[in-house]
Amino acid sequence: MFDKYVLKHKTHLDLFTKVKSLFKIMILIIQDEFHIYYCKFNKKRHTRFAPEDEKCYICRSVKTDTMKNKPILVISTGAGISAESGITTFRDAGGLWENYPVMQVASAQGFAQNPELVHNFYNKRRKELLKAEPNGAHKALAELEKDFDVYVITQNVDDLHERAGSKNVLHLHGELMKIRSVSNPDYIETLDTDHLETTPATRGRNGDPMRPHIVFFQEPVPNIEKAVEIVMSADIFVVIGTSLAVYPAAGLIEYTRPGIPVFYIDPNPASTAGHPDVTVIRKKATEGMRDLTEILHAYVEKHKK
């Protein structure tokens, strides 16, 4: 009788089987897509929340890091780390930068009043940058990626962190080797070593007038929210070569989780009275990074046990 039922309803059963198989395939596709979507937005703590999947290209790309569950090390760097590479700064120059009042060459008002001066100023800064090389502090930060999940948040507009090998660098104040549209801040182009100079007449590939990709004084800092998110995820937070006087970057330390180790490297550190748990290393960036590297290696060994 069952055989007769099967024969009678064979067409319906075939359709049901096909629908059932299709449904299973859809479920698998949804699971795979969800896994990849999850990986993209939770990459830094991937294996703490999701199992590894060899079919997922993101899993494969971060397998080494995530299997070790590296501590998240967030570094906030300022002018002091690049000064040792010969990059000029106005921090200790009485408000002058290469003999120019800072507000003439690094403010929105200054650019509006004399765009040619501002373009020429940053043309010179790019030529200066090409002569500079990453120093020991830049290289030490890149080396720490072997043991830590390192994120660099920098106020500097040079590319010395990237050239030293750091993979995760967030620039708060723009990038010297890039230009952007005057009317559309999201349209950005990268300059090459053969085309360093720009003028008010420079046009982008889209035809827009272009300006240095620098966050001028009097302008908002578009990456600050992303920087805050990174700092909030830190297991260890380090500040290097900054006076803690330029906001909003100076306020990042306020977003660290209570109880995590915080270090501050600077030969002339600002007051940390409001942060009694901060360990101050009163040295220049390169020398201070040697001390910090020893401390962090001891931290890694301690947490392996």
223-246 residue pLDDT tens: 999 999 999 999 999 999 988 877
pLDDT value, residue 99: 75
d(CA 273, CA 73): 23
d(CA 139, CA 128): 20
The model's pTM is 0.76
Is 303 known to be catalytic?
no
pLDDT > 70 in the chain, percent: 73
Residue 171 DSSP symbol: E
Q: How many CB atoms lie within 10 A of CB 18?
A: 10
Alpha-carbon separation of residue 168 from 4, 99, 207, 230, 253 (angstroms): 67, 34, 31, 11, 19
d(CA 154, CA 73): 14
pLDDT value, residue 111: 97
Q: How confident is the model at residue 6 (pLDDT cuts 50, 70, 90)?
A: very low
Residue 199 has pLDDT above 60, yes or no: yes
pLDDT tens column, 118-160: 999 999 999 999 999 999 999 999 999 999 999 999 999 999 9
pLDDT value, residue 286: 97
Residue 42 has pLDDT above 70, yes or no: no
Q: 144 burial class (0-12, 13-18, 19+ CB within 10 angstroms)?
A: buried
Query: Lowest mean pLDDT: which of 37-51, 109-123, 145-159, 256-270?
Result: 37-51
d(CA 288, CA 263): 10
Average pLDDT, the chain: 82
Please pick, among 35, 138, 171, 173, the residue that the annotation labels catalytic. 173
Task: Give the CA diameter of the chain.
Answer: 100
pLDDT value, residue 277: 85
Q: How many residues does the chain have?
A: 305
pLDDT value, residue 296: 94
Specify whether the CB–CB gap between 264 and 281 falls below 8 A. Answer: yes
Describe the strand order of the beta sheet including 174-181 as a list of residue ranges.
Answer: 188-190, 174-181, 210-214
